[in-house]
C-alpha cells in the first residue's frame, strides 16, 4: 500500500576515500604482462536515509561515521585506509538540524549493519526514544559483538567496539529476516557483505518504489550484470544471492535502487534538505 504522505530524504555524511579494491574484489588485478599494476584510489559518498512517515514518525536509517572518527575515535589503520572527507555540515547532528530535528526527535532508528561508517553516531541517541529500541538484524548483532569481544582489537572486520558496545541507555531490538515496519515500508534481509545486513524498501506515491541496498551492493559495478563481489564480505554465496533477490525486486516493483557508496549515482540523487522523494 502506498501512503502519499511519506517522504524520503537522502542525507549526505561526507565522503570516504579508499582503494577501489575494497568496493570491487580483485580490481586491477596483476597479470603476467602487467605484474605491477598499481592500486587505484577513489572517493565514494556516505549516506543515511531520513523518512517522514505519517504513522511511524521520523525514521532514521544509519548514523554515518562518528563525529571524531578522524580525530582519534577511529584507530590509525582505519584513518589511513578509509579516511573521511567531510565538512561541518556533513555531521549527522547538523544534517538533522536542517530539518529542525535533534536526535531526541527521531522516533525509530534502523541500522542496516554495524560497520563503523554506518553505526558511528549511535552515541548521539543515548537516552532517546529511538535509542531505546535500535532496530538491527539479530545475526548482525551477534556477529559484531562476537568479533569485537573475542580478541584484543577494538576494530575488526569493519566493526568498531566503541561505536555500539556499552553505550548507556542504548538497547537493540533485533529482528530476523524481513520486517514490515508499515504497509509501505519494509526492511529486507540481504546477507553477504555482513551476516545481518538490512536493505530498505519504501513505496512512494509519486516516486514509486525505492530500494536502498546499503552495502549489499556498494555501487553499480557490483550490481552488473554480471554481478561482481565487493572486496569486503562475510559470505560470497549469500552476497550473490542477495544481489539476485534485489534484481528480482527491482523488476517486480519497477524500483529505483540506491546503492551504498556510488559516487556517479550520488551526483544524480535528490539530496536533503531541499530535495526529497515522495
Here the CATH number for the domain that contains residue 238 is 3.60.15.10
Mean pLDDT of the region 139-165: 96
pLDDT at 3 over 80: no
Could you list the residue range(s) of the whole structural domain that residue 168 is in? Answer: 7-23+41-266
Indicate the average pLDDT of the chain. Answer: 96
* Domain contains 56: yes
Cα distances (Å, whole numbers) of residue 168 to 101, 112, 171, 219, 249: 22, 21, 9, 35, 38
**How much is the pTM?**
0.96
Number of domains in the chain: 1
Mean pLDDT of the region 152-166: 95
Q: How far apart (Å, rounded) are the C-alpha atoms in residues 124 and 33?
A: 52
* Domain contains 272: no
pLDDT at 79 over 80: yes
Convert the pLDDT of each residue in 184-217 to its tens digit: 999 999 999 999 999 999 999 999 999 999 999 9
* Domain contains 128: yes
Helix residue spans in the chain (DSSP H): 20-23, 76-81, 92-97, 138-150, 161-164, 220-223, 236-253, 263-266
* Domain contains 2: no
Question: What pLDDT score does 4 carry?
Answer: 77
Q: How far apart (Å, rounded) are the C-alpha atoms in residues 8 and 5?
A: 10
* Domain contains 198: yes
* Domain contains 137: yes
Ramachandran region, residue 126 (left: φ > 0; alpha: ψ -120 to 50; beta: rest): beta
Q: Fill in the DSSP letter of residue 34.
A: -
pLDDT at 95 over 80: yes
Q: How far apart (Å, rounded) are the C-alpha atoms in residues 261 and 219?
A: 6
Apex CA 224: angle with CA 222 and CA 227, to 5°? 60
Question: What pLDDT score does 70 carry?
Answer: 97
For residue 1, name the pLDDT band (cuts at 50, 70, 90).
low
* Domain contains 164: yes
For residue 53, name the pLDDT band (cuts at 50, 70, 90).
very high
Half-sphere exposure of 207 (CA within 13 A, CB side): 23
pLDDT at 58 over 70: yes
pLDDT at 275 over 70: yes
Amino acid at each position: 500500500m502506498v501512503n502519499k504522505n511519506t517522504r524520503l530524504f537522502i542525507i549526505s555524511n561526507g565522503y570516504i576515500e579508499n582503494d577501489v579494491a575494497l568496493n570491487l574484489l580483485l580490481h586491477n588485478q596483476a597479470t603476467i604482462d602487467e605484474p605491477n599494476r598499481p592500486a587505484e584510489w577513489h572517493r565514494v559518498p556516505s549516506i543515511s536515509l531520513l523518512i517522514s512517515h505519517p504513522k511511524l514518525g521520523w525514521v532514521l536509517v544509519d548514523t554515518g561515521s562518528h563525529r571524531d572518527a578522524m580525530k582519534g575515535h577511529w584507530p590509525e589503520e582505519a584513518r589511513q585506509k578509509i579516511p573521511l572527507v567531510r565538512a561541518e555540515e556533513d555531521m549527522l547532528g547538523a544534517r538533522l538540524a536542517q530539518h529542525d530535528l535533534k536526535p531526541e526527535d527521531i522516533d525509530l532508528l534502523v541500522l542496516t549493519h554495524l560497520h563503523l561508517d554506518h553505526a558511528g553516531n549511535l552515541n548521539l541517541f543515548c537516552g532517546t526514544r529511538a535509542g531505546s529500541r535500535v532496530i538491527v538484524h539479530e545475526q548482525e548483532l551477534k556477529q559484531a559483538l562476537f568479533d569485537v569481544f573475542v580478541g584484543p582489537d577494538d576494530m575488526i572486520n569493519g566493526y568498531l567496539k566503541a561505536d555500539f558496545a556499552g553505550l548507556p541507555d542504548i538497547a537493540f531490538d533485533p529482528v530476523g529476516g524481513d520486517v514490515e515496519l508499515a504497509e509501505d515500508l519494509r526492511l529486507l534481509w540481504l546477507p553477504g557483505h555482513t551476516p545481518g545486513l538490512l536493505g530498505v524498501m519504501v513505496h512512494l506515491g509519486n516516486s514509486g518504489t525505492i530500494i536502498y541496498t546499503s552495502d549489499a551492493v556498494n555501487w553499480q559495478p557490483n550490481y552488473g550484470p554480471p554481478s561482481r563481489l565487493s572486496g569486503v564480505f562475510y559470505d560470497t554465496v549469500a552476497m550473490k544471492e542477495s544481489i539476485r533477490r534485489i534484481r528480482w525486486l527491482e523488476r517486480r516493483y519497477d524500483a529505483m535502487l540506491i546503492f551504498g557508496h556510488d559516487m556517479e549515482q550520488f551526483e544524480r540523487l535528490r539530496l536533503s534538505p531541499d530535495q526529497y522523494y515522495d
